[in-house]
Structure 1
Amino acid sequence: MTNSQLTLVQIDNYGPWTVTPNPRREMDLQTLQSRLFADLAQFVGSRDGYVFFTRFDNMVAITNGLDRADHALLQETIGNRYPVTISLGTGVDEVPVAALEAATAGLQQAGSAQDCDRREVLAGKFLSEAEQADSNVRIAHFDVNDATGKYTDQLNEFDSFIQIEQGYATLMRYLREEHGALSFFVGGDNIISVCPTMDEADYRNAIDHVETAAGVELKVGVGTASTPHVAGMDAKHALEECRHEGTAVELGRPPEEVDVATD
């Protein structure tokens, strides 16, 4: 059974800050957001977690393997380096969207995202040592079939982007509504999902739905481990197996085999 720890990263009072004392240059804001995301990705990634930019002023991280002290250190690091601060809410559940809802509730109860008095909130539940397990995190890595041949080498970049985004949006909604999974576009033609316990038929149904609804063909590799990094690497290897074998779904190695290979 999965047991995901999800962290909501929210920039404090960001909207008002962007227009105080006057509206700030858009590219300056884009630069700040991209650098902040890069620093978050480096910090969380160095501790075997994943972070996704979503709307940039709000970001979502899979933080199995990070404890409260790690989160507090992240806040301190960002506060020392940026003109803005971040609040963090964390939740735990076997269904990823339920974990994110719990994380979100912790921040919402502490005040609005645009409340000038709300600063560096750290709220929520963290997995205990006893709750750490090799089956906690399930990562699915989706890839568009022949995106280069179908889109990149045939269409202008904006039309290629539309096609890929339509596939992403369809998959994102389907997995969230049917399984409580959370999916994130990670560039190129790649989508990473953090999923609850699902079987091969569930992934095939998702792929079939996207092809029918959006006309985009996908394949997926799935990995399971105690941390996002290990699960994600196993998912990448499973995806390579899809490419090599011409299959649509590969579930990767069982968690106990992953542990042996990574010790």
Structure 2
Amino acid sequence: MTHSQLTLVQIDNYGPWTVTPNPRREMDLQTLQSRLFADLAQFVGARDGYVFFTRFDNMVAVTNGLDRADHALLQETIGNRYPVTISLGTGVDATPAAALEAATAGLQHAGSAQDGDRREVLDGEFLPETERTDGDVRIAHFDVNDATGKYTDQLNEFDSFIQIEQGYAAVMRHLREEHGALSFFVGGDNIISVCPAMDEGDYRDAIDYVETDAGVELKVGVGTAATPHVAGMDAKHALEECRHEGTIVELGRPAEEAGTATD
């Protein structure tokens, strides 16, 4: 059974800050956001977690293996280096979407994202070390079949981007609605999904849905481990197996080890 620990990272009072005392230059804001994401990714990644940028003023992290002290240190580090602060909400659940709902509720209860008095909230629960297992985190790494040949080398960049984004939107919507999984575009033609316990048929159904809905053909490698980093590396190796064998779904470890949808 999976136990996803999700952290919502929210920049405090960011909207008002961007226009106070006057609207700030857009490229300055883009630079700040990208550097902040890079620092978050480095901090969380060094502790075997994953961070996804989503809307940049809000980011989502898979933080199995990070405790409250790690989160407090992250807030201190960002507060010392940036003109903005961050609030963090965490949640734990077998279903990633439910874990993120819990993480979000904690921050919303503490105040609005544009509340000038809300600063560096740290709220939520953390998966106890004694309850952690090698089956806690399930990562699915999706890749578009022959994206270079079909899109990059055939279409202009913007039209290629539209095709890839349509595939991303379809898999994101399907996995969220059908399984409570959370999917994130990570560049190129790659999508990473944080999933609950699912079997091979569930992944095949998702791939079929995306091909029918968006006309984009996918393959996926799946990994399961105690941390996002290890699960993600298993997923990458499984994806390479797809490429080598010409398959569309490969699980990084046997079903009896990784668990099944009935866990």
List 4+ stretches of structure 1 deviating above 4 A.
Answer: 254-258
- Residue 233 of structure 2 corresponds to 233
Pairing of 1:43-58 with structure 2 (within 5 A): 43-58=43-58
**Superposition RMSD on alpha carbons, in Å?**
1.2
Matched letter for residue 133 of structure 1: T
1:16 aligns with 2:13: no
Q: Normalised by the size of structure 2, how large is the TM-score? A: 0.97
1:196-230, Cα deviation, whole Å (9 max, x unpaired): 00000000000000000000000000000000000
Matched letter for residue 195 of structure 1: C
Give the Cα separation in 2 of the matches to 1:257 and 1:122: 34
Matched letter for residue 134 of structure 1: D
Give the Cα separation in 2 of the matches to 1:234 and 1:248: 16
Q: 1:256 to 1:86 in 2, by over 3 A?
A: farther
Q: 1:255 to 1:47 in 2, by over 3 A?
A: farther
1:40-98, Cα deviation, whole Å (9 max, x unpaired): 00000000000000000000000000000000000000000000000000000000000
Aligned partners of 1:5 and 1:99 also within 8 Å:
yes
Matched letter for residue 200 of structure 1: E
Give the Cα separation in 1 of the matches to 2:66 and 2:257: 23
- Residue 135 of structure 1 corresponds to 135
- Residue 30 of structure 1 corresponds to 30
SS at match of 2:117: coil
- Residue 119 of structure 2 corresponds to 119
SS at match of 2:42: helix
Stretches of structure 1 that go unaligned for 5 or more consecutive residues are 259-263
- Residue 261 of structure 1 corresponds to none
Pairing of 1:82-93 with structure 2 (within 5 A): 82-93=82-93
- Residue 95 of structure 2 corresponds to 95
Matched letter for residue 13 of structure 2: N
Give the Cα separation in 2 of the matches to 1:255 and 1:68: 32
1:107 aligns with 2:107: yes
Matched letter for residue 233 of structure 1: M
- Residue 71 of structure 1 corresponds to 71
1:72-129, Cα deviation, whole Å (9 max, x unpaired): 0000000000000000000000000000000000000000000000000000000001
- Residue 261 of structure 2 corresponds to none
1:152 aligns with 2:152: yes
Give the Cα separation in 1 of the matches to 2:192 and 2:17: 31
1:188 aligns with 2:226: no
1:5 aligns with 2:5: yes
Matched letter for residue 204 of structure 1: R
1:207 aligns with 2:229: no
1:131 to partner: Cα distance: 1.2
- Residue 243 of structure 2 corresponds to 243
1:170 to partner: Cα distance: 0.5
Matched letter for residue 50 of structure 1: Y
- Residue 162 of structure 1 corresponds to 162
Aligned residues: 258
Matched letter for residue 97 of structure 2: V
SS at match of 2:154: coil
Stretches of structure 2 that go unaligned for 5 or more consecutive residues are 259-263
Q: 1:256 to 1:66 in 2, by over 3 A?
A: farther
